[in-house]
Structure 1
Amino acid sequence: MSAKNSQQKREKEKQVIDQMIAIYCRKNHRHLHKENGLCSACEELRRYARMRVDRCPFMETKSFCSQCKVHCYQPKMQEEIRKVMRFSGPRMLLYHPGMAIWHMISTLKG
């Protein structure tokens, strides 16, 4: 995989994470929203997840973090992102069907 393709993959993965966190926050933390649409806890999780994607040394060979043999998330953040993904994953088909289908295909290829 070329550096350009690897960077595109990183950006796509960050877009998926952003959307999943946005869905989760909008549905579970309505009363905590800030101007940018996320509560402070979800914004912290979003920044953390994006940083982990940026630093991932396995981006060229892995599909998604959930499929990776090395879990680089801190335990607290790992549990938080799992909650978000369990909640938002099925809802992605309703809110972002193209992104959800891309994610499923990428995961199966993995």
Structure 2
Amino acid sequence: MIADEKRTIKEMISLYCRKHNHSCSPELCRECKELLEYAYRRLDKCPHGDDKPSCRHCKIHCYSQDMRARIRAVMRYAGPRMLLRHPLSIISWLRHI
């Protein structure tokens, strides 16, 4: 579901932001907030709706190259850490690999 994917991506970006932007604050830095908003917009506009395949296996690549590189960096960092911090969300994340 789109709502599950939004929750998972928010958790992943939050983990990444805390480590890479040295923020002890629960709020995201400007760059990570921009990435999260972009990801939400892409999910909202997904033509597949709740039946969407994983982004990696989708024929429609709706992320720009720059944003795709940024989200990959987030997923590489946060993905393995999600198992410890958000174990139920890892199921949704595994659909992306």
TM-score (norm 1): 0.78
| Structure with more of its chain in helix, by fraction | 1
Structure 1 residue 36: deviation in Å? Answer: 5.2
**For the residues of structure 1 that align with 2:79 and 2:93, how far apart are their CA atoms?**
10
Unaligned runs of 5+ in 1: 1-8
1:26 aligns with 2:21: no
For residues 77 and 93 of structure 2, what CA distance do their matches in structure 1 show? Answer: 15
Match of 2:7 in 1: 15
State how many pairs are aligned. Answer: 96
Q: Distance in 1 between matches of 2:51 and 2:60?
A: 12
2:27 aligns with one of 4, 23, 37: 37
Runs of 4+ in structure 1 off by over 6 angstroms are none
SS state of the match for residue 24, structure 1? helix
Q: Which ranges in structure 2 are unaligned for 5 or more consecutive residues?
A: none
Alignment of 1:4-83 (within 5 A): 9-31=1-23, 37-83=27-73
Structure possessing the higher radius of gyration over alpha carbons: 1
